[in-house]
Amino acid sequence: MTSPSIPGLRAEFGPAVERVLVSCGDTIVYVTRDRSHDVLAWLKDAPGHQFNYLTDVTAVEYRDSELPLEVVYQLRSLSRKADIRVKVALDKRAPLQVRSVVDLWRGADWLEREVYDLFGITFTGHPDLRRILMWETYAEGYPLRKDFPLRGHFSRAEQTRQALAANPEAHYSLEELSIAEAFDELPPDMRQRLARGERGYLK
């Protein structure tokens, strides 16, 4: 049984709704990348739909490298006790970009940062898109991508060398230091290193 929201969605967005399928009782809607934000905003507020709760944002990459990456939004209507899963397929040959939904749900803030961190998908319009689980200077790539080996791209020796060379002083971001006006009080050499964007690893 597909979700009762599908006819309304098709009438409102027409060809932007690419595909609808059901898996294990859950309705999945594929929408185009250009209209994803509009579709999600409509689902959130349209009377009779009101998917006001964002359960989860994540991404899926399939083992078949020809298949596109998918950004997955799990939506729920708390009042109607209904769920819907919205997916946006991203062609790997084009830049991996999709509109951020932080303006609709503040809860998407960290979820989108995590998808960016682990999959390398950019959310345009996100107020603070930086790595969250990995550290900001992490240079090995995006861990949940299928071309990322389980042990990482760098050798164990290189990983150890970088960990030992890390500079604990540089664990504050420039932004954090500037808000507290503490930046000016740092020793000049550290100020220069931070200004160069050098943050705890050897070049």
Partner 1 sequence: MSLRTVEMALATPGVDRDGNASRVPLGVGGYDEDFGAEHMLVNIGPQHPATHGVLRLVIELEGETVKRCIPHVGYLHSGFEKLGEYRHYNQIIPLTDRTDYLSPMANNVCLALAVEKLMALEVTERCEVLRVIACEMSRIISHLVWLGTTGIDLGAFTPFLWSFQERERIYNLQESWTGARLTTSLTRVGGMMADIPEGWEAGLRDFTRTFPDTLKEVDTMFTRNAIWIGRTQGVGALTADEAINYSLSGPMLRASGVDYDVRKDRPYLGYESYDFDVPIGEHGDIYDRYRIRLEEMWQSNRILEQALDRLQGLKGAPINVDDPRVILPPKSRAMSDMEAMIFHFKQVMEGVKPPAGEAYMGIENPKGELGYYFVSDGTAKPVRWRIRPPSFLNLASLPRMCEGALLSDVIAINASVDIVMGEVDR
Residues at the contact surface with partner 1, assessed by CB under 8 A: 23-26, 28, 52-56, 58, 60-63, 72, 74, 78, 81, 83, 85, 105-111, 114, 118, 131-135, 143-144, 148, 150, 172, 176-177, 179-182
Closest to partner 1 by CB, 111 vs 194, is: 111
195: tokens are 């200004």
Nearer to partner 1, 12 or 83 (CB): 83
Contacts of range 32-40, beta carbons closer than 8 Å, 24 or more positions apart:
32/88, 33/88, 33/89, 33/90, 33/97, 33/98, 36/71, 36/86, 36/88, 36/98, 36/99, 37/99, 37/100, 37/101, 37/104, 38/13, 39/9, 39/13, 39/86, 40/73, 40/75, 40/86, 40/101, 40/104
Nearest distance in Å: CB 167, partner 1? 15
Of the two residues 14 and 65, which places its CB atom closer to partner 1 in the complex? 65
Q: Taking the complex as a whole, how short is the minimal distance between the CB of residue 11 and partner 1, in angstroms?
A: 26
Tell me how far, at minimum, the Cβ of 150 lies from partner 1, in Å.
6
Task: Name which of 15 and 23 has its Cβ closer to partner 1.
Answer: 23
CB 17 within 8 Å of CB 42: no
For the bound state, the minimum distance from the C-beta of residue 160 to partner 1, rounded and expressed in Å, comes to 17
Shortest spacing between CB 183 and partner 1, in angstroms: 10
Could you write out the DSSP letters of every residue in 143-180? Answer: TTSTTS-TT-SS-HHHHHHHHHH--GGGGS-HHHHHHT
Which is closer to partner 1, CB of 12 or CB of 89? 89
Q: Can you tell me the distance from the alpha carbon of 53 to that of 43, in angstroms, rounded to the nearest whole number?
A: 10
Q: How far is the CB of 14 from partner 1 (least distance, A)?
A: 26
Q: Considering the complex, state which of residue 9 and residue 118 has its C-beta at the smaller distance from partner 1.
A: 118
Q: Rounded to an integer, what distance in angstroms lies between the CA atom of residue 23 and that of residue 3?
A: 12
